[in-house]
Amino acid sequence: MGWSNSTVDDGYLVLLGFSDQPQLEFILFVVVLVSYLLTIVGNSAIILISRLDVKLHTPMYFFLTNLSLLDLGFTTSAVPQLLWNLKGPAKTITWTGCAIQLYVFLALGSTECVILTVMAFDRYVAVCKPLNYTTIMHPSFCKALAGLAWVSGILNSLLLVTTTLRLPRCGHHHVDHFLCEVPAMVKLACVDTHTNEVQLFVATLVLLLIPMLLILLSYGLIVQAVVKLKSVQAWRKALGTCGSHLIVVSFFFGTGSVIYIKPQKYYGYVDGKFLTLFYGVLTPTLNPLIYTLRNKDVKGAMRRLLRIDKN
């Protein structure tokens, strides 16, 4: 690409992105732009409908609203810079901009891990303990769960990003990624990063692997409860709901786990970029479709808001 450390100011970094595959940049630009627009429209619709329709003022849609807010912020922290880099040769980002992107991207991503776990717990209570649902999922308890998710995500970001930014770079300016992400930034360091890798592993265990296991446990209990009902219709409905949710969980948690738990010396940059692109850009596009836009309650709310409900 012709970039050299001597041509880059100390206040800037170069996001190499997909510059080694220029033939893909235009295609990626179109795919990312369309995905981002769909993410904005889909998640904004969820937030608007959930707020305006009284029938959707339930714990499930409260958490879905939080998820939509997270997806909007999560993608916005990365996509505009990515689109700018894909449209032309200029691929620099200020050090301050990189630091902000690091904090926001990791904080919202970590928060989403916990929110997805909380959503699985909500579905578990709804299916397995329906008579006690309103008592357990009290509004104050739901707000506390959401608050816990946001606080845990922010604290995780403050810890990991702050220690990452303190690593000496020895004049290295080239980030072999399309955004400022912790694993890629750690790779710039010119000192031993074993401590940082251990921190990444622990954070991945606490905020990725354990939540993923809790989600699987929740849906396992849901399936077990539905099987006992011996109802084919109930079985199909539960299987469809669990299947859709587990697909998104697998996309988000699976790709994120590979990136954050894989030892840095084995970290494949090309693989890492596309995995990040998948969970950071494409998954938030799928969430509205899978969680709500296929949901009868949401469709009914849309008809009521548009005043085309036949009733």
Q: For position 71, what pLDDT does the model report?
A: 92
What residues does each domain of the chain span?
13-305
pLDDT of residue 36: 94
Task: Please tell me the predicted confidence (pLDDT) of residue 294.
Answer: 57
pLDDT tens-digit series, residues 45-98: 889 888 887 777 889 889 989 999 999 999 999 999 899 888 877 788 888 999
Q: What pLDDT score does 87 carry?
A: 83
pLDDT attached to residue 295: 64
pLDDT at residue number 5: 42
The whole-angstrom separation of Cα 183 and Cα 266 is 11
pLDDT digits (tens, 9 = 90+) for 211-232: 988 998 988 888 788 777 776 7
Contact present, 178 and 98 (Cβ < 8 Å) = no
Cα–Cα distance, 57 to 306 (Å, whole number): 18
Residue 146: which pLDDT band, with cuts at 50, 70 and 90? very high
Residue 4: predicted pLDDT = 42
pLDDT, residue 54, reads: 78
Residue 133: how many other CB atoms lie within 10 Å: 16
Of 304, 284, 305, 302, give the one whose Cα is nearest residue 293: 302
Per residue in 94-122, pLDDT (tens digit) is: 889 999 999 999 999 999 999 999 998 99
For residue 211, give every residue at least 6 positions away whose Cβ sits within 8 Å of its Cβ, in sequence order, or none.
Answer: 113, 114, 116, 117, 253
pLDDT at 99: 92
pLDDT score at 1: 44
pLDDT confidence tier of residue 33, bands split at 50, 70 and 90: very high
CB 98 within 8 A of CB 46: no
Q: Is the pLDDT of residue 175 over 90?
A: no
Q: State the amino acid at position 8 in one-letter form.
A: V
Is 3.30.230.10 the CATH classification of the domain at 13-305? no
Q: What is the DSSP letter of 293?
A: I
* Per-residue pLDDT tens over the stretch 249-299: 777 887 777 777 665 554 555 667 888 888 888 888 887 777 665 566 666
Identify the pLDDT of residue 6: 42
pLDDT, tens only, 121-135: 998 898 888 889 999
Strands 12-15 vs 92-94: parallel, antiparallel or unpaired:
antiparallel
Return phi, psi of residue 175, to 5°: -95, 115
| pLDDT score of 159 | 93
